[in-house]
Structure 1
Amino acid sequence: MTRTRTNWAVEPWDDSEMLECTQIVPETADTWTFTFRSPSGAWFDYQPGQFITLDLPVDPSKGQAGNVQRTYTLSSSPSRPLSISVTAKAQATSIATRWMMDNLKPGMKIRAYGPSGIFSSHRHPARKYLFISAGSGITPMMSMTTWAWDSGEDHDIVFVHAARRPSDIIFRQRLEQFAHRSPGLQLRFTVEEPEPFKTWHGYQGRLSQIMLGLMASDYLEREVFCCGPEPFMQAVRDMLIALGYDMDHYHQESFGAPVESEAESPEMDDVIPDEESRAQISFTTSGVTTGCAETDTVLAVAKRAGLNIPSGCTFGLCGTCKIKKVSGEVHMVHNGGISDEDIEDGWILACCSNPMGKIAVEV
């Protein structure tokens, strides 16, 4: 039998060479994976979780002058170096991603720059990992998980992903195939709502402290990587801070504004109640005003003052202690016991609300 040897370039790819699209795969109804190769056969060398910038010739009729540059996280892994892939979700206002879905075809060549970025498990080696993502924020987690799988080592990863419906979970089948053969990979999916007429056995509802504790009871021991919409990542940070997690082991990537270096990393302006900072609560109905620390909850201060606020679970789940805030600001980390609409209307849960300065409540 005659064997044919393919001549591959030994140097890694650099952005002086345009990429050729080789494959396009729909992942969900609005999310596609685009795979590229180097025409010279050069290999791709990067860290799992990094991103590239694509230079796309968007139609000028879309209101853009000339090409448009957009960053996309690599959903592929450097353990498979003959090609790279990006997985993009088309939002209502998408221009570049929608152009790719409508126009990019196998055989076409696109200019790309990179890879770049600091969001990678390679930069923070750990014995245990906790990956938390939502929507298309799953892409860097997929890259890092694929690397872990291909390495042949027994990694300990809890992979938490939030989606609107089960059909919106990107890479679900591939991740489940990994998990079926790797006891060290534990998948934890939560959805806002199940599919009509289909049974859903996973978690349902917004990710919360209670849910996180059930998904990964040893979360305090894990290196956390988080990616998703900004409000989602803020909620995750609030949860972890409230649970006493060491945030030096927390890492996040915004798919809206990925960073290339540590110097570009934005400062996290998280609200962290301080035991030394004084606050004051006025209970307007009772005519009682009392001082406290920011770390005290409204419920605890009310009880010390001899006031009764009906309560149940005391960790923001049941909603029994819902009261109206008249003025001031509180830091509230709840577990689903109050709706966004109620929060906008000024309601709070006394059991998990910390006063930030002077506040007034109807009690």
Structure 2
Amino acid sequence: MMRDAHTFELQDGRLTRPAFWSAPGEPWTSDAEETLVCCQVRQETHDVKSFFFMSRAGRTFAFEPGQFITLELEIDGETINRCYTISSPPTRPHTISITVKRVPGGKVSNWLHDNLRPGDSVRVLGPAGEFTCARHAARKYLFLSAGSGITPLMSMSRSHHELGEDRDIVFVHSARTPDDIIFARELDLIAANQQHFRTSFVCERVGQRTTWPGITGFLTLPLLRLIAPDFMEREIFTCGPAPYMKAVRDMLAEAGFDRAHYHEESFSFDALPAAEQAAALEGANVPAGEAQAEGATSYSVTFAKMRRDIECGGHEHVLDAAKRAGVRLPASCTQGMCGTCKVKLVSGQVDMRHNGGIRQREIDQGMVLLCCSKPLSDLVVDK
């Protein structure tokens, strides 16, 4: 990791102008510029920080609010990919930010909190993702979030606010205590500025705020009906821990909500306990007969470092076959977007249909994403 404390302050001994004073630069892409530089670290709550990044070349960022980027980090000699939703809006094109909660035992979140400083360079891939209100125009929205799941919905809220779109939005955020509400003051400001933007905070307990006037407990269907009586008419976006999102889905199913107007996102892999991580990596126990049609072409896949050999059907993604065989591999989005399952293909050929989770130069170097690659021959993987 490279650190230059004066990257944005001094040039030939003189102060330089901030990038936003100049004409807009060309759009940033991870192919054109693999690394971004951290320009600010902001403490949001006692265990949440926002990390802001800029392009050294002055390029600007274009993305849809709610999308994510993937950080490629070197931690203890190991390359680790992690997806983080973007918390900044695309209306601030000279910087891009992620907001990260410190997770007990979380290898990446703790490393970011303890090590990433202004001036550090980080490899970044993206932006990518389909969880965005930009693709689902509606007169009225309901944003439901919990914990650090607030980040993509904050990007959406900031975008509407800064574009002067006073859209009818009800934002319901759940937190452990009032002191754990991320972006509380900014959400209050948006609500003060936008006539049709309303917030409601639901805290599990009051913590140190003995005078907390808000709601305590958990989000329930009767409570949701009180906060947003017309929620059945709204486009709903949800992000948060897996148990929270399951509770929301159950509530909406009980209410008879049309799932065509429901959208959710979660990249909480780093937050899972070890046992749950293993279960997530192994995936469902799908019988081999269901994974590929009888008599279909099958290929061998060798994981060189693991010394494991598995069979993979020609119409099956390698990651799915590995999960079925009990081979544990890092994975997150499973849609070719995040880059978490990127590996070096030592030999063989695959049909890879990715969604931006790998750079062209990496493909040229023999890298593949296992989640979206189907074998065209026997394979040897450097894993």
Compute the TM-score of the two structures, normalised by the length of structure 2: 0.64
Name the residue aligned to 1:29: 46
**Deviations 1:23-76, CA, capped at 9 Å, x for gaps:** 000111111000000111111000000000011121x2xxxx422111111000
Q: C-alpha separation between the residues in 1 aligned to 2:258 and 2:29?
A: 38
- The yes-or-no answer on 1:225 pairing with 2:240 is no
Contact 1:192–1:204 under 8 Å retained in 2: yes
Q: C-alpha separation between the residues in 1 aligned to 2:80 and 2:47?
A: 21
Cα deviation for residue 97 of structure 1 reads: 1.5
Contact 1:117–1:259 under 8 Å retained in 2: no
Q: Select which of 238, 247, 251 maps to 1:235.
A: 247
Q: Select which of 115, 123, 127 maps to 1:103.
A: 115
Give the letter for the 1:199 counterpart: T
Q: C-alpha separation between the residues in 1 aligned to 2:227 and 2:264?
A: 19
Matches within 5 A, 1:147-158: 147-158=159-170
Matches within 5 A, 1:125-274: 125-196=137-208, 198-256=210-268, 259=333
Q: C-alpha separation between the residues in 2 aligned to 1:263 and 1:82?
A: 23
Cα deviation for residue 126 of structure 1 reads: 0.4
Name the residue aligned to 1:72: 84
Q: Aligned-pair RMSD on alpha carbons?
A: 2.0
| Greater C-alpha Rg | 1
Give the letter for the 2:251 counterpart: M
Name the residue aligned to 2:60: 43
Give the letter for the 1:217 counterpart: P
Cα deviation for residue 105 of structure 1 reads: 1.0
**Paired residue total:** 256
Q: C-alpha separation between the residues in 2 aligned to 1:83 and 1:111?
A: 15
Q: Percent identity?
A: 46
Cα deviation for residue 197 of structure 1 reads: 5.2
**Deviations 1:235-264, CA, capped at 9 Å, x for gaps:** 101101111111110000012266486999
Cα deviation for residue 9 of structure 1 reads: 5.6
Q: C-alpha separation between the residues in 2 aligned to 1:20 and 1:39?
A: 7
Contact 2:128–2:337 under 8 Å retained in 1: no
- The yes-or-no answer on 1:93 pairing with 2:105 is yes
**Deviations 1:112-155, CA, capped at 9 Å, x for gaps:** 00001110000111000000000000000000000010111221
Cα deviation for residue 196 of structure 1 reads: 3.0
Q: Which has the higher contact order (CA 8 A, sep 6+)?
A: 2
Cα deviation for residue 203 of structure 1 reads: 1.1
Q: C-alpha separation between the residues in 2 aligned to 1:169 and 1:101?
A: 18
Equivalent residue of 1:139, what SS? helix
Unaligned runs of 5+ in 1: 265-363
Alpha-carbon distance change, 9 to 154 in structure 1, aligned in 2, over 3 angstroms: closer
Q: C-alpha separation between the residues in 1 aligned to 2:40 and 2:239?
A: 25
Give the letter for the 2:45 counterpart: T
Contact 2:86–2:151 under 8 Å retained in 1: yes
Q: Select which of 124, 140, 160 maps to 1:112.
A: 124
Name the residue aligned to 1:283: none
Q: C-alpha separation between the residues in 2 aligned to 1:153 and 1:53?
A: 29
**Deviations 1:285-341, CA, capped at 9 Å, x for gaps:** xxxxxxxxxxxxxxxxxxxxxxxxxxxxxxxxxxxxxxxxxxxxxxxxxxxxxxxxx
Unaligned runs of 5+ in 2: 1-16, 270-331, 339-383
Contact 2:178–2:209 under 8 Å retained in 1: no
Q: C-alpha separation between the residues in 1 aligned to 2:190 and 2:163?
A: 13
Cα deviation for residue 101 of structure 1 reads: 1.2
Cα deviation for residue 206 of structure 1 reads: 0.9
Compute the TM-score of the two structures, normalised by the length of structure 1: 0.68
Cα deviation for residue 7 of structure 1 reads: 4.3
Alpha-carbon distance change, 131 to 256 in structure 1, aligned in 2, over 3 angstroms: same
Equivalent residue of 1:67, what SS? strand
